[in-house]
Amino acid sequence: MVTFVPENVTQSARAVPGRARQLAGRLAEAFDSDQQLARRQSDALGRLRAGNEQLWSGLHPDALGPLNDDTSAEAIGSGASVIAGLVSDSIRFGHSVIEAESVLLPKLQEVHWMIHRAVWDYQQASEDRRHLAAEIGEASAQLVAELTAAGWSEHEARDADVRALSAAGAR
């Protein structure tokens, strides 16, 4: 056993069992993994927003339907989004509906798959975080049990800094 003085305890040293150091190390690594998973979720959410912006911003909901009726560019919008811009350009350059669709459909397909991948990535990161949370819960309960068996109060054990505990053996 190694002695460790938690920050919230005065100079009375506490024994840190080897098993507690191992559990604390596992928890510290799990917390790092959780941060990486949170970044993956944030990245996927950003890609979802970007895809949505390409589809919606500036595009009037009725823009695609009336193309057959020679809708003016003003009815569609200012072209603030990628899709709206393609529609406006097609109308402005006098393209036929078939020509407009040949420009729009590949972009719509690209955005569709961008959103599809982002949703899948977000769901996968969420599932990975769910599994990790269960592992963290189990390891936390085991750590508290180890520390309380070594004389720590439950409050001290729950408030312990896992990084400091895992490094306690290196002193």
Task: Report the C-alpha gap between 160 and 156 in whole angstroms.
Answer: 6
Q: Are 95 and 84 in contact (CB under 8 A)?
A: no
Where are the chain's structural domains? Answer: 2-170
Q: Does the pTM of the predicted model rise above 0.85?
A: no
Per DSSP, the residues of 3-22 read EE--TTS-S--EEE-HHHHH
Predicted pLDDT of residue 143: 97
Kindly tell me if the per-residue pLDDT of 48 is higher than 70.
Answer: yes
Query: Who's near 147: CB < 8 A, 6+ residues apart?
Result: 14, 16, 17, 20, 156, 157, 160
Name the residue type at position 32.
D
At residue 20, the pLDDT reads: 96
Which comes out higher in pLDDT, residue 47 or 83?
47
pLDDT at 83 over 80: no
Q: Which of 124, 64, 61 is nearest to 88 (CA)?
A: 64
Q: Which helix (H) or strand (E) holds 2?
A: strand 2-4
pLDDT tens, residue by residue, 135-163: 999 999 999 999 999 999 999 999 999 99
Please work out, in degrees rounded to the nearest 5, the angle formed at the alpha carbon of residue 171 by the alpha carbons of 136 and 165: 20
**Residue 161 and residue 167: Cα distance in Å, rounded?**
10
